[in-house]
Amino acid sequence: MSQVRILILTSSTGGGHDARAQAFAEWVFELYRHAVDVRIEHVLEDSSLIGRSGVNLYNWLQRKAPWMHHPYYMLVEGLSLLNRRTVSFGRGFFVRLLEDYRPHLIFSVHDCLNKGYFQVARRVLGEANVRCATYCGEFSGGYGYSRNWVDPSVDLFFARTATARDYAVKLGLSAGHSRVRGHLMRPRSHFETFTPEARARFLEDRLGLRTGCFTVLLGTGGNGANNHMELLPVIAEFGAQAQAIVVCGKNHQTYAEAIHWRTQHPEIGCFIDGYTDEMHRLIQASDAIVTRGGTTTCAKALHFRCPIIFNAFGGIMPQERLTVKYFERGQGCAIIDSAAGLRRVLGEWLGNRDTYRALRRNFEALRYDENPRTLIVELVGLAYEAAGLAAPPRRI
């Protein structure tokens, strides 16, 4: 059987783009096994010093100074002018990649890897020999939604929500080339779901926590940006009413501090992990998650019906605003910018569970069911179209 080739363009600004690239690759293997070859490339950081410096600066600002992302965002928006017809930085790297791999489909999951990249690919490979597609993970439109997402020449554009799709059309995308296709999560997030009994066993046997106790998940992105050590003492104030799951990501200092804190507070239920591959399980075990507005974590929280307390310490990044706005308009979230904010929210929820239940109903109303295979089949179909072949039947 002839093998088609799909090139995924991503970058490690935050963890969401890479998570979606990985999810796509895993789903393709689940459905098509070795009939489709998928290659993931971190084009921004691997192609030029300027791109690599921009990625490093983004991640540093996320950890240390979120408010500085506003001028950074305006600077990056300039790429929509520089990359109108070609790739401004790292073009030689990208051309060599295309000539070496010769993909039938280029699939971008990053805002800065659409405009210019699709045009160069068509010139190098030939218009008839390659298709181009984008998955945009934003929840809504407006300030923070990069114009770099929208290349009007794209063959297919996938949006997470109808709200985000409509904004892309406003920026010049053809409505006929757009689709709303959900969250693009890894297969295990769809396959490994808890029954109430399994959730109880996971809490008690795996995490060492109690069932029936309000469980707060302190989350973080892959970069480890967090305020856990300010929030843990607040959870402890509620005594036997609350317990914590603490995820530290790649922040080894926070992990060490949290371990020490737990030793000093044996009366508080507290499970601690570093960089974890079980976030989908931890979210299912929780009654609420404290997280910044990262799209991947928030999408998982919505999928598993775990209400979000948005961490706005140090301000909200422009990209995060799109996520916060989506949930805030649906009155399905809480927002805190200090430890006192968490004290207030937990006090309201634990003092009157009807308050929590009402917010949870609003939160769940924003949720929708999806068939994750649909997006994969459409994209693989594009690749086979470019190769001039009939797509094979999928396995499941």
The CATH number of the domain holding residue 166 is 3.40.50
In terms of domains, do 214 and 113 share one?
A: no
**Cα 347 to Cα 309: distance, rounded to the nearest angstrom:** 13
CATH (domain of 258):
3.40.50.2000
- Least confident residue range of 82-96, 271-285, 354-368: 82-96
Neighbouring C-beta atoms of residue 167, cutoff 10 Å: 21
Please give the average per-residue pLDDT across 240-257, as a whole number: 94
Please give the average per-residue pLDDT across 63-85, as a whole number: 79
Is 214 within the bounds of a domain?
Answer: yes
pLDDT confidence of residue 76: 79
Per-residue pLDDT reduced to its tens digit, 133-173? 999 999 999 999 999 999 999 999 999 999 999 999 999 99
pLDDT confidence of residue 392: 85
Grade residue 2 by pLDDT with cuts at 50, 70 and 90: low
Grade residue 268 by pLDDT with cuts at 50, 70 and 90: very high
- CA distances in angstroms from 260 to 226, 257, 263, 265, 287, listed in the order given: 17, 5, 5, 9, 25
Is 22 within the bounds of a domain?
Answer: yes
Q: Classify the C-alpha dihedral 170-172-175-180 as positive or negative.
A: negative
Per-residue pLDDT reduced to its tens digit, 308-349? 999 999 889 888 999 999 999 999 999 999 999 999 999 999
pLDDT of residue 303 exceeding 50, the answer is yes
> What is the total count of domains within the chain?
2
In terms of domains, do 351 and 233 share one?
A: yes
Task: Pick 65 or 301 by higher pLDDT.
Answer: 301
pLDDT confidence of residue 282: 98
In terms of domains, do 298 and 319 share one?
A: yes
What DSSP string runs through 313-369?
A: TT---HHHHHHHHHHHHTT-EEEESSHHHHHHHHHHHHH-HHHHHHHHHHHHHT---
Grade residue 249 by pLDDT with cuts at 50, 70 and 90: confident
Grade residue 220 by pLDDT with cuts at 50, 70 and 90: confident
Is 204 within the bounds of a domain?
Answer: yes
The encoded tokens of residue 119 equal: 């045009």
In terms of domains, do 177 and 273 share one?
A: no
Q: Classify the C-alpha dihedral 124-128-130-131 as positive or negative.
A: positive
In terms of domains, do 97 and 201 share one?
A: no
Is 394 within the bounds of a domain?
Answer: no
Task: Pick 51 or 119 by higher pLDDT.
Answer: 119
pLDDT confidence of residue 374: 96
- Among 81, 76, 151, 80, which residue's Cα sits nearest to residue 119? 151
**Cα 224 to Cα 62: distance, rounded to the nearest angstrom:** 9
pLDDT confidence of residue 222: 65
Grade residue 223 by pLDDT with cuts at 50, 70 and 90: low
Range of the domain at 260: 192-365
- Direct distance between the N- and C-terminal alpha carbons of the chain, in angstroms, rounded to an integer: 19
What DSSP string runs through 25-94?
A: HHHHHHHHGGGEEEEEEEHHHHH-HHHHHHHHHHHHHHHH-GGGHHHHHHHHHTHHHHTSSS-SSSHHHH
Is 396 within the bounds of a domain?
Answer: no
Q: Which residues contact 30 (CB under 8 A, 6 or more apart)?
A: 187, 395, 396
In terms of domains, do 136 and 277 share one?
A: no
pLDDT confidence of residue 78: 78
Share of the chain above pLDDT 70, in %: 98
Is 151 within the bounds of a domain?
Answer: yes
Strands 131-136 and 105-108 turn out to be: parallel
- CA distances in angstroms from 280 to 181, 333, 334, 359, listed in the order given: 20, 19, 21, 21
**Cα 107 to Cα 128: distance, rounded to the nearest angstrom:** 16
- Least confident residue range of 70-74, 168-172, 255-259: 70-74
Per-residue pLDDT reduced to its tens digit, 5-48? 999 999 998 788 999 999 999 999 999 999 999 999 999 999 99
In terms of domains, do 150 and 284 share one?
A: no
In terms of domains, do 164 and 274 share one?
A: no
**Cα 138 to Cα 152: distance, rounded to the nearest angstrom:** 18
Q: Which residues contact 14 (CB under 8 A, 6 or more apart)?
A: 58, 59, 62, 221, 222, 223, 294
In terms of domains, do 245 and 329 share one?
A: yes
Is 187 within the bounds of a domain?
Answer: no
pLDDT of residue 1 exceeding 70, the answer is no
Share of the chain above pLDDT 90, in %: 80
Is 395 within the bounds of a domain?
Answer: no
In terms of domains, do 163 and 208 share one?
A: no
pLDDT confidence of residue 393: 86
In terms of domains, do 254 and 358 share one?
A: yes
In terms of domains, do 30 and 77 share one?
A: yes
